[in-house]
Structure 1
């Protein structure tokens, strides 16, 4: 771990030098009477905790299906948010405080327009008195609760690649890198900039540093509004303080900062300007953080001893406090009292203040280096822009996967398989047709299953990052897709080349170099088709375990109908043979070794008396009875394009 505990961090001076300067107009955020509910088909709806529901809405996920005890019961609604009103101003931090399941994440997702199922959503969200637009989205940074970063990239590489992709095309590469470096300094990440991000399985930076990298991801575009979903979750008190100190420094520069928090320390609480307290989807306080305790004391709730204000407010939100001087019999419903007090005393004032608060909406301009241009430029899908995205994404993909691409285990697996095959078929005779066909079919099986199962994990593993970056408009889907499948080619092509180079000469296959070259070309083409199959299923299912199971079953069907085990396939299964990648790959390998079969048939004397009937049957059915090579090549080409096109379409569905 990087030594965050030893690092002293304080926000940089707002007037300090920065390669990216902006006189972008601030954003005043207002939301009025925001409510949200979902339909649940369960008579025991009340048993469902709001936590289980709201956790499903991180990133705009679909509403969950309830575990039902009585599926035939009438549809009911579960209210997640109920009439929330508030405002966040430039230069201020608005903290949304509440226990788990109070609706904090749902409110943030509604503000960002990330909930796609809007049939249960009411209320109004305004940015400078206007509704959400693409221009506002570009000026808004959203930091999710979970840090979605590439674990094998360093801090510097992560922010540099992000800068290269997110900043406008008119900014030079040198200036983009300078922006990333200044963000690293500003966030106090200099000591760990060359350390890998890491994750639960890979050693890397600390949790607090990882959270600051996520904030830096958004700071690169100098957002006017920064929204964070529980940025201190899972951090110790010191790390949490440093993260909020970072936000305090951003707010000092005129940014509008909105963050949800679960259980802040007292010194973190003191850095919040404004406070919104939620309880079971209802508001029980909105106002200045420094005035919250005074308000609750006024309505009859005060701590019996000195304590962290945040802890006391969470106790109130959970309904575990009681009115001062109330006996057990006189105890009213705490939450009901808090909601009623808010509606009577604060709600009218809050709505009036939100309506009357001024908001600016001037044109934003950005100064980078010596350039000044409209920051929120119109995106042009020119080839040069596309190629620039592709090349940056390809570089990032190669760096991220360099440890995985040629890891020792996979290389050992391929070399071991090639040596086993080489020794099993060691210098087998050309006339041993049955043995040679078995070898060719083994090659077809191995290089059908191996790449397809590896490719299944490509898109499911990157889904969270892909969705996050596409939502930010960092690149086009086509440039990401091409970079992703191109970055896998070294592994997909070099390992089969190594396999064939070892096995071919050990097993006594056709010794002509042209035959070896054609065999290698067929295997490489077949590998790319099999890889496409894995990519397609991975993108369609987007669950690595389920997709790998489907691919395994599919490859099993392809192998069984591939033409070696069974020649007379039942009528209702014949169609599988003609969509089998194994069938066409196996036929091409046979054609390279034996051509039309006349030579081997003559050598074996299949047309004369005394021939081996079993061997000659293999010649007649497997070699002479094959389809035209042109048809096999054509079908593999169709599959090569078709599987990748299917994967691309599936990714478009996920993006939207």
Structure 2
């Protein structure tokens, strides 16, 4: 039975927070004020922000309004320490202050909860599981305390009724858009942040969901949290909830002050009256996009004049408790949970995702089953026990047999790689949110995926061998074939994941597939002898893991007593150990490079 809703309803109407929330989930006692002066930012020749000044204070619900491309998100990213300011073609000027003290935004980044515009949630998890995952990794509390905190958070965010429903995605029905957004907010509130920034949190929500979400944020502000969000087109009901409003146009602040003073400001500096019963937020945005530049300039100049005259205070509020830039002891881990807890939680979630989406596995194994049967029929009874002399004098019979060996190795490229290359792009936003939020490091993230992948890949290879090994009449040891195909499968997945980690979208990842397959096939020795490959290109065989796999497949199937046959196929019987070592080395190298790439890509989240 769901908890009573009366207290939650009161909260969203602007009333008091439930006493249970006060008891089990207190908000931070020390909330800093944040200010900025004369901030300008450009990329190349494009000016994004121009001479922006302002402040946000504890207990205020501030909204940044402006047309698309006006610089709203860029300003918020700079203030939260998420904007790369040091690249060669980027120029930043100005100062950011925490409680009146100039401070680099990156130093207090941990004090700011940041909710991205896109709801980056694991589709196969429920709101309860998502909040428990966040609480376990970010709070140093017992399991019982975490359960209590999550229970209170679910009630506070009006998620109790859907707490055990999967989030879902475009293909799987799940919770509603408003419930997704409130879940995203809950993930950040778990850490008891002193400030919460939200990038376009109302985009895509219906009017009721937008108002409900905004009232939750208003309730947070009333409890002393600094709330800042960008919004494109707020409804009248949402607009009335804002304490302060900042209006940005083409990188310049046209107004920054109390919401109630916005109408008078437009009359005073531009001679523009908001029509009766009209949405003041819509009026302001419409004005920015329809009035001539000289009118907009008067608004911008009017704001600067009020700052100069002291009518608008851009300094952070004094008297509040100062918050340290970082409470972490120098030299300690930046993560609240230890490595083993991170690995355990990530592995459990990864395994749960596999179990709850069996359709993907069924398709994956069905494809392997069908292609395995097809290839087995094509190469039916190609294998046989024969001497080297027999094969040398019957190359016509040897060629399909050797081709079956190559195809067996080649099949470990296509299916596994196609699945693996999209794995990181499709989970990119979830990873960026959780990694930049300090939930876990990249190493346990990659290891957890590897641990879950190992048995799945082994089963895939086993199915393929079962349906083809005896039909083709392979003579090599079945167990050795299983180990070889498993190793090739893992190496192929590792390279595919590395390529996928370098891209941000699934479509770009798929476009890189030829880069994965063509070099491997070209140097496999199936279509052309390596002796006939131009000398200046033969080095390619040494970076082709398929070639090393084919070499090992040859020895598994034909043994070590056919040196002339091996030489014809450019295979050296003295390098078996090297072939195994190189494949294992590639497996480790590709996974390590994936870790490096993910860390670099996540350094700054735009």
Give the TM-score, by structure 1 length.
0.81
The equivalent residue for 2:496 is 534
The equivalent residue for 2:190 is 220
The equivalent residue for 1:281 is 251
Query: For residues 630 and 107 of structure 1, what CA distance do their matches in structure 2 show?
Result: 57
Q: Which has the higher contact order (CA 8 A, sep 6+)?
A: 2
Alignment of 1:223-234 (within 5 A): 223-234=193-204
Structure 1 unaligned segments of length 5 or more: list them. 1-7, 40-76, 322-331, 365-373, 602-616
Q: Offset of 1:245 from its aligned partner?
A: 0.3
Alignment of 1:490-501 (within 5 A): 490-501=455-466
**Residues 257 and 624 (structure 1), Cα distance of their counterparts in 2 relative to 1, 3 Å cut:** closer
**Contact between 1:497 and 1:520, CA under 8 Å: does it hold in 2?**
yes
The equivalent residue for 2:95 is 124
**Contact between 1:433 and 1:618, CA under 8 Å: does it hold in 2?**
no
**Residues 306 and 553 (structure 1), Cα distance of their counterparts in 2 relative to 1, 3 Å cut:** closer
Query: For residues 496 and 317 of structure 2, what CA distance do their matches in structure 1 show?
Result: 57
Alignment of 1:483-562 (within 5 A): 483-510=448-475, 515-562=477-524
Q: Offset of 1:278 from its aligned partner?
A: 1.9
Q: Offset of 1:129 from its aligned partner?
A: 2.1
The equivalent residue for 2:366 is 412
Matched residue pairs, number? 571
Query: For residues 435 and 362 of structure 1, what CA distance do their matches in structure 2 show?
Result: 73
Query: For residues 563 and 557 of structure 1, what CA distance do their matches in structure 2 show?
Result: 11
Choose from 305, 309, 315 the match for 1:348.
309
The equivalent residue for 1:140 is 112
Q: Offset of 1:627 from its aligned partner?
A: 4.9
**Residues 24 and 405 (structure 1), Cα distance of their counterparts in 2 relative to 1, 3 Å cut:** farther
Secondary structure at the counterpart of residue 336 of structure 1: helix
Q: Offset of 1:241 from its aligned partner?
A: 0.5
Q: Offset of 1:213 from its aligned partner?
A: 1.0
1:579 aligned to 2:579? no
RMSD: 2.8
Query: For residues 567 and 272 of structure 2, what CA distance do their matches in structure 1 show?
Result: 93
Structure 2 unaligned segments of length 5 or more: list them. 1-7, 387-396
**Contact between 1:449 and 1:552, CA under 8 Å: does it hold in 2?**
no
**Residues 547 and 133 (structure 1), Cα distance of their counterparts in 2 relative to 1, 3 Å cut:** closer
Query: For residues 319 and 624 of structure 1, what CA distance do their matches in structure 2 show?
Result: 74
The equivalent residue for 2:559 is 595
Alignment of 1:167-182 (within 5 A): 167-168=139-140, 171-182=141-152
Greater radius of gyration (CA): 1
**Contact between 1:81 and 1:107, CA under 8 Å: does it hold in 2?**
yes
Choose from 378, 398, 403 the match for 1:433.
398
1:20 aligned to 2:10? no
The equivalent residue for 1:93 is 61
Q: Offset of 1:404 from its aligned partner?
A: 6.0
**Residues 350 and 221 (structure 1), Cα distance of their counterparts in 2 relative to 1, 3 Å cut:** farther
Query: For residues 215 and 91 of structure 1, what CA distance do their matches in structure 2 show?
Result: 17
User: Which is further off, 339-348 or 577-586?
Assistant: 339-348
Query: For residues 78 and 433 of structure 1, what CA distance do their matches in structure 2 show?
Result: 65
Alignment of 1:257-406 (within 5 A): 257-299=227-269, 300-320=271-291, 333-345=294-306, 347-350=308-311, 352=313, 354=315, 357-361=318-322, 379-380=332-333, 385-402=338-355, 403=357, 406=360
Q: Offset of 1:341 from its aligned partner?
A: 2.8
The equivalent residue for 1:150 is 122
